[in-house]
Structure 1
Amino acid sequence: MATGIVSIALRLAGVMWAARGLLVITAALWVVLVVTFCGLLADGSRRDELSVPAILTSVAGTGVLGNGIALSGHAVTAVVPLVIAFGLWMFLLPRVLRRLKRRLPGAAYLVTVATQSVVVLAATLADLLPAHLLTWPAGTLLALGLGLYVFVLSRFDFRQLYRGSGDHWVLAGSLSISALASARVTNAAGDPRPLEWLTFAVLGVALAWYAVLVVCEVLVPRPRYDPRRWSTVFPLGMTAASAMTAGAVCSLPWLGTLGKVLLWPAVAAWLVVGAGAIRQAVAASRS
């Protein structure tokens, strides 16, 4: 998810060589994800892992990869990830929702991220192929994703803002992808004006949460590496991509400029977290 969205944001900013390189890495990581997921299905003792929010990264990761493929000029090929992502979403989302309780962590917002990742890919293909029949289903899922966000927000443990290990950033990232989904549906729809206002509103709230989370990180630094920090990189990249897309769709150059500014903290975070992941992997292999 994190690598894929940074790749897309770099493509939107015109940094093509880096975007292509990260897309290749995303595809390789997706293959690892497929192998892992198949292992969960085959191992009956691990079936409970199919009901935790983190499993929805399989949906979001597939959707992000599909968008990268579509935007690189292979829209027909991206139909395959759309079918896979939608099938996974139908299979996994009910299982995860049944297990959600009170005082939820940031990972619970993946119910929105997964839903909107399907919306973004469907709306992108509706515009590129074209396949306008996908526009209305995408709009319906967009509304469902926003409803799921409100549901999780009502149960979210806000102590995660200063205790979380990285996934608390999905609080903002799930709104950022919702804004991106709204912008993509706006671009595919014939009468976009109401959706433009929705895009502005959702992106505005996402940016507000972004600012709050930055302040919390400054007040309560958490410098140690944790795998959940990839869930911090994803919202940073997603907010940049959402702002650039919304700026282009709604003809607001300043919003596109903001997205380009926000891209570089996302790239820096990707490099830092990636270095931490490599260092941990090397230490684990030595031990």
Structure 2
Amino acid sequence: MSILPGRDWWTGLPPAAGAAVMATGIISVGLHLTGHEAASLVALLVAMALWLVLAADFTSRLLGDRGRFRAEADTPAALTAVAATTVIGARLSQQGRQTAAAVLLVLAAVLWPGLLYNVLRHWRRRMPGAAFLGCVATQGLSLLAASLADAGHRDVLARAAMAAFCLGLLLYLAALFRFDLREVVGGAGDHWVAGGALSISALAGSKLTASPVWTGSAHTALRTVTLALLALSLGWYVVLLAAELRHPRPRYDIRRWATVFPLGMTATACLSVAEPAGVAWLSTLGEVLLWIAVGAWLLTFAALVASHLTAGRGARGR
């Protein structure tokens, strides 16, 4: 399924297309943290344009095709709608657009419970990496709430962010027990979310650690948990990268955007954790991983274009 223009192209996008927004948005966040402001703003504009297209498609299905909407709302990929919204909101908060970020937080919070409930009802024993999107969406809410709490010194939002953070960790554990480990060597791309979910948890943890609300033993515990989550996400990064090199999967699949997102999220988590955790070398590691993520984004976009052109030639040849 393409995400490039064609006849009625935007009405045929699967929920998994939301991972492209997540990937582009988090790379924008990372570029901002490393001082590449112009590139960050370009990535933000691309992410926002994609988000608007997907929001239009989401609304169209909700109002005009309830059958398809209900069918897709039961799949884990539906939660990319929440995660993508929170990532865009977090980047807008960085930009000082707190009102817009708050609106996106409200929108994501409204969508989250219904989508999460539908997805959890349809969990099965052996799940692809998309099972971790419940954690990702919940930690996205934590990240955006913590960002807004930090910008506006709102203790209530900080406490809500902590609640979402803890729930996200529980959802990760639940997904881990259902994750089909064979996906590591045969997954189409979303298997990387197994590590990306820990990375966004670490990123949310870094925002909470930096908050003045948490002091003393609570701050120490948060710092420890955040560093542990980041270490585990880096461990997944190594395992998944080794599996990709051992079992290459070069063919384009829309789920490859769910590979780019964890790459960018892990880089951004390293950059964000470095200062509040007091581990300076994480900034250097984060910069290296960020450019790997940018390269992966470009390669995935090139593969998407090539796939679209090949499909177009095939259609004309029939």
Match of 2:31 in 1: 10
State the alpha-carbon separation in 2 of the partners of residues 157 and 82 from structure 1.
32
Offset of residue 223 of structure 1: 1.0
* 2:79–2:112 Cα contact (<8 Å) kept: yes
CA contact (8 A) 2:208 2:214 kept: no
1:167 correspondence with 2:190: yes
Moved more, 190-199 or 120-129: 190-199
If the length of structure 1 is used for normalisation, what is the TM-score? 0.98
Q: 5+ unaligned residues in a row in structure 2: which ranges? A: 1-21
What letter matches 1:227 in structure 2? I
Structure 2 equivalent of residue 149 of structure 1: 172
Superposed displacement of residue 76, structure 1: 2.5
1:86-235 → structure 2 map (5 Å cutoff)? 86-188=109-211, 189-191=213-215, 192-235=219-262
- What TM-score do you get using the length of structure 2 for normalisation? 0.88
Q: Is this contact kept in 2: 1:40–1:49, CA < 8 A?
A: no
How many corresponding residue pairs? 287
CA distance in 2, matches of 1:170, 1:77: 27
Tell me how far 1:232 sits from its aligned partner: 0.4
1:252 aligns with 2:275: no
* Residues 121-179 of structure 1: CA deviation (Å, up to 9, x unaligned): 00000001222211111111111100011101001100000000100000000000000
Deviation at 1:186, TM superposition (A): 1.2
1:45 shift after superposition = 2.0
Out of 37, 62, 77, the position equivalent to 1:41 is 62
Instruction: From the CA coordinates, give the structure whose radius of gyration is larger.
Output: 2
Aligned to 1:25: 46
1:44 positional shift? 2.1
Aligned 8 A contact 1:40 1:50 in 2? no
In the other structure, the counterpart of 1:72 is 95
Distance 1:227 1:48 in 2: 19
CA distance in structure 2 between the partners assigned to 1:15 and 1:244 by the alignment: 13
Task: Return the letter of the residue paired with 1:45.
Answer: G
Q: RMSD across aligned C-alpha pairs, in angstroms? A: 1.0
Report how far residue 253 of structure 1 moved.
1.2
Q: Percent identity?
A: 46
Hey, what's the Cα distance between the residues in 1 that align with 2:185 and 2:228?
Answer: 26
